[in-house]
Structure formats: C-alpha cells, structure tokens
Structure 1
Amino acid sequence: MTDTPPDIERLIQEVLAEAGYDADAADVARRVRKLNHGLPAEDEFAAICAWLGRTRLLHKLDQHQIPARSRFEFQVPDILAVFEAGGPFLIEVKRCNDRTLSLKSDYYARLLSYADKMGLPLLIAWKHHSLWTLVDVRHFALAKKNFNLAHGEAMRQNLLGILAGDVAFKLAQGSGLHLDIAKEELIETRPTEDGYEETWQMRVTGVHFTIKDGELRTDLHPETTQLFATWDLESSETHSPTRIRQSFTVGAEGIEFAHRALVALLAWEKPVDEPTNWRTQLRAPEITRSIAHFDAALQRGMTEGVVHLILRQNPVTIPDFIKEES
C-alpha cells in the first residue's frame, strides 16, 4: 500500500486543469476522502454477500440524480440486491462504531421516499467495528430529531442469516494445529536475569492436526484444516532436549460469525499487515482461495470433529416481504 503524496491537492488540481474543470483542489480532495470512507464498506459488504453463497444478484446503484431538485425528495440507496430468500431489496450501507446508529430525519425520509416510490423494501447494512448486521429500516425509531437503532436491537432483528446465509459457529475444544520442530544445532547461548537463552538452528519435521478433545487425525479435508485460520487459537509449547512441539488449539470459550471468518481467511492468504482491497476481491474469480463454500466446509468440519456448533439466526420479527417472497 503506497502512502498518500504530501502534495496530493496540487496533483489533483493539475489533473482538473488538464481535463478542463474549474474546481477547488482541496474541496475535491476532501470529497474523495469522504467517498473513500464509504466505498470500502460497500465493497466489503458486497464481497461478504457474494461469498456466503445465497446472493443471486447484487449491484451498486448510480447515485447521480437528475434533476438536481430531486435530491430534496429522494435519496438513492447504495445497493440493489436479490437473495434466494427474496428480493429485490434496496440496501443502504453504514459504518458506525457507536452503540447507536443515527440517521438524520430528512435523510431517513428521502431514503424511504425513494424505496416507497420504487415499491421495494429498504434494508440498512450496518458495520459496527468488525460485526455486520442487516436490518429493516422500519426498526429505526424517532428520538428527539433523528431516527435511531441500538446495536443490540440490530442483532435481534438481523436478516443477514436468513437472506445472505450468515451463521455463527464454534470450533471444537482441543482441535488444532501442532508443529514438531527438531533442534539441529545450538548456535548461541546468552545469559539472562532468569538463567540463559539459547538460539538453535531448527527444522519443522511434522505437521499434525487434532479434532475435539485433542484426538489426532491425519485425514482431515483441506478446507477443514483452513477453518483453524478463522479462530483465535491458544498457543503452547512443550520442550525436550531434541525437539519442540508448538501447538495452536481451540479453547473452551468463543464463538465466531461466517462473515468475520472471511476477513480472517483473506488476512491469512495475503502478506502480513497488507490491508484487504475489497474492490480487488470483488473482481477476482473467487472471493477467497482457501474455502469456496463456507457453509459446506462447516458441515464437513462438524462431521470430522473440528466444528462443535453451528447456529442459524432468525430475527425476532421476520418481515412480511420475506415471508411473501420465500
């Protein structure tokens, strides 16, 4: 990832001048930064929906409106989507880390005006830190001036599972990855406050996997082993005079969501500290190289003893437009 040039505004101004536009470079730079704040979230949501496997169609809506006065009455949402469970739906994508997502009253009214005129349900996709929810806009309630939705209520009314195929899952305690590392040559010994520290030339001599309760398995499906990349594994080591066994295993606590697992898998596939370019992922033949169909991988992992639990969430209130379409 390249750093932003310190003279970015001057460069933008030069491009504008060559193209024949008269605009303030600082204002253009500000607008680009604002646009870049929203577009990655839209791309991430689109990639998640494509990867989860129950999306038939998803495309972004052109938000350049004419005539200009239409902007006072209508707000075009970000995405049009069709899922196996129903559609088409309009989706507005938001990223907010506050416990409450707040929409200004006039903005809320313009979104609803567009949706009502098109005769389509309007959903809000909300990224809260790393957690996504998808909620019917009519769950927002008027506060003093704005329409608000608490994150807890968004979780209760989340449609991401029944529409896109998101699930929660837990890997089996004791399952994990184990490396056998041979000590081949002592390179250096250094004294420390607590004793001494050794530097060895070492070589990995074996890679092993365990399933629930630490049972050794040698025939796990490759996609089952990739599930460990989605989990925050506990690390431990056992030492002998000639070797080290380094273990990364699933503990007793924790639960994960499929849409967050995608982020972890993509992080595992690329160089360390390189951010995910969601636009690039959308253009790739496959969203991820490691697991093509995550739900099928979870089902297989449960059969093989690596997955302990799969939870499929239904919202507290299933909207009528989904009942009618499904």
Structure 2
Amino acid sequence: MAEADKTLEKFIDDDLNFHNSDELDEKFAALAKSEDMLDYWASRINPKVVGMEEEKRATALCLASHNDKFGDRGRLHLLLHGDPGTAKTLILDWAVFKLGAIGASMRSSQVGLTADASGNEVTLGALPRANNGIICIDEIEKFDQKSLQGLLEALEEGRIHIDVGKTHTVIDAKVRCLACANDTRKLSRELMDRFDFKIEVHKPELEFKRKIMRSRIKYWFREKEGYDGINLKNYLHWIQRFEPGISNSVRDIWMKLMEMYLVLTESDASIREEESMIRIATTLAKMHHRDAIPEDMLRAIKIRHPDLNGGKMKLLEKIIQEETA
C-alpha cells in the first residue's frame, strides 16, 4: 500500500469527525497525485466481492460522476444484468448499507419508484428520495411501467412527473443509478439507452470459483479492509462540489479523438451512447480533483471499448502526441 494510503487510513480511522477538515483535504489531494483514483477506489467497492473489476470501475465512476449543467447530463448510470447468483446484488447492497444509497426493489417497496397517494397525502418513492444521490434498484425488470417511465425521466432529465390522486407536479430526481436485472428483455430500448454502462455478468468458471471460495472462507465472519466504506464515503464528499475545468485546447483534442474513434469503429451507436465518453472523461478528471486533460478522453474510450485493438489505440494516442508536442 502506498505511503499516502497508509496515512489516509490512519487519519480517517482516528477521528471520523474530521471529514470536512483542511487536513483531510490535504491527504485526499496527496492521494490523488500518487494513485490512479479510478483503480484505487474501484478496488474498494465491496472488497469482499472477488474480481468484477470492470463492474467495480463502472460503479466507482457512477458514484463520482458530476451533476448536470447547462442541459448536459453529467450523471452516469450502470446496469448489471445476467444470471442470478453472480454477485450483482452484493455490489448494490453494499452501496446502500455502507455508502447510504437509496435502495429499491419490488420485494421492499410498496410505493414504487415515483410516488403513491392516499387521499390528499402523497408518499414519495425511491427516485425523488434519492435526489442528488445514488439509487440502487434490484431486479429492475419487475417494476411496473409507471415506475420504469419515471426512471426513464430521472435518468435523462433528472426529474419526474408525479400524477397521483390530486397531485400533478414535477419533482427533482437527479440520481446516479446502479441497477440489476436478471432479464433485460422486458426493458424498453429507450430505457436501456440511458445506461452508460450495460455489463452482462456471467457465472464464474471452475478455477475462478475456487478463488472466490478461498476468499470467502478466509474472510468469513471477518471484516476485510475497506469493507466499512468510510474512506470512500469521505472521498466522495470531498469531490462532490468540485467541477473540473475543460480548456478550449483540451476540448479541441477531445473532438479530434472522438472523430478518429468514430471513423475507426464505424460506430452506429446513438448520440446519447457516444456522449457517455464525455461524461466518463469529465468524471475521471473530477476523481483526480484536477482539470481535464487529453488522456481522460483516451481512457474513456478504452473503458467503453476495451476490445479496441492495439493498432487503433495507437492512432488515437498519436493524436495526443502530435497535439501536445
């Protein structure tokens, strides 16, 4: 573990009341300079879950993503889908119980995601209650169409229309969504399109299953370092209000990278899907508590398209080399 990390762990454990102090700000700033903040914090997403590096990186990016501004969505959303028993829910439950996210499932919610009314009294659902925070939705495909329509509005617009009883209004629901589904066939194309990350989770093969079970036995009834989520929670508080600057020169290079990427991949994705890379690049800058740099867009492309071959990546890297020489 890096020296900055050791100091950070000790300081936070000594007195949690210092989470707003200048001293802790300095320690997070030092950590941001010495560590890759995405990999660092992704490895601390429910450390009892073995592997799932891609899923944890996507989760960390969603947690850290920026609010909307000037009509542009900064918030990132993640959908984990696949067979039951693949640890999808373990990621979401940890965010609920350790980071204070709002949890929702058809098993636990009578109100649904939007709102319910009894007479003149309106009870808000999970989406408006999670405004400006994180919502974790388990088995999303089991919610009714009214809830899913509200979710669609919240993911894109950050607000939902409430039409229950005598109440007809619009309520803020600027959420960052972590969702799970066993079957995505029941979800509309429009809703699927709002998720920046759609990751299919598979059951582990035998060798990896053996690794998982070794870890489960090793840490059974033991708290694994970082499981309490306190450090991550304080870090998210530290970066919450920081807005990375994006200079004109960086925007120019980002545009050239995006244009080259579109040519190389012949992408037929929607504009909304391609915009995800802008959100990811901006979030990477925010996580490092600095202004945006050209490499943020390059890494965003790698994150969204890990299968992009080495030759195409070299062409993208060449753009940065030529523009910053």
Confirm or deny a common fold (TM above 0.5): no
TM bucket (normalised to shorter chain) is: under 0.3
TM-score by length of 2: 0.27
TM-score by length of 1: 0.27
Decide which structure has greater strand share. Answer: 1
If asked which structure has higher relative contact order (CA below 8 Å, sep 6+), I would say 2
Decide which structure has greater helix share. Answer: 2
